[in-house]
């Protein structure tokens, strides 16, 4: 299997923005995709995706752990301290965000 950073088949697995916020019920947010820098400690866990704006919502682990928005374009263009590209963990299992937060 050839590596693709963010293929359509993976994008299709992510819910649209606010999908886990159904009125009157709570659904625990799930991380569907994990991106990471192989040469530092930064990790992005995507739980929602807007294909029109190419923006994600999820957990970002770096200097701190926080929920927020991040863009596909930024992930594709950023480099770690040794110049390595950000990668997608092709074997990451769907995981509740609550299990990933430190």
SS3 state at 71:
strand
For residue 45, the model assigns a pLDDT of 98
For residue 25, the model assigns a pLDDT of 64
Distance, in Å, from the CA atom of 20 to the CA atom of 18, rounded to the nearest integer, reads: 5
Output the CA torsion sign for 95, 57, 62, 73: positive
- State CA 72 to chain mean position distance: 9
In whole angstroms, how far apart are CA 38 and each of 9, 25, 35, 81, 96?
23, 38, 10, 10, 23
Ranges under pLDDT 70 in the chain: 1, 20-26, 102
For residue 2, the model assigns a pLDDT of 76
Residues 6+ apart with CB under 8 A from 16: 48, 49, 50
Region of 52 please: left (phi>0), alpha (psi -120 to 50) or beta.
alpha
In whole angstroms, how far apart are CA 66 and each of 2, 56, 82?
32, 13, 24
């Amino acid at each position: 299997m050839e590596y693709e950073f963010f293929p359509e088949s993976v994008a299709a697995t992510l819910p649209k923005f606010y999908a886990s916020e159904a009125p009157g019920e709570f659904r625990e947010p799930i991380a569907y995709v994990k991106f990471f820098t192989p040469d530092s400690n930064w990790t992005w866990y995507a739980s929602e995706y807007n294909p029109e704006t190419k923006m994600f919502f999820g957990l970002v682990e770096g200097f701190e752990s926080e929920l927020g928005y991040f863009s596909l374009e930024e992930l594709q263009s950023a480099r770690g301290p040794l110049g390595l590209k950000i990668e997608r963990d092709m074997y990451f299992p769907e995981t509740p965000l609550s299990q990933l937060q430190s």
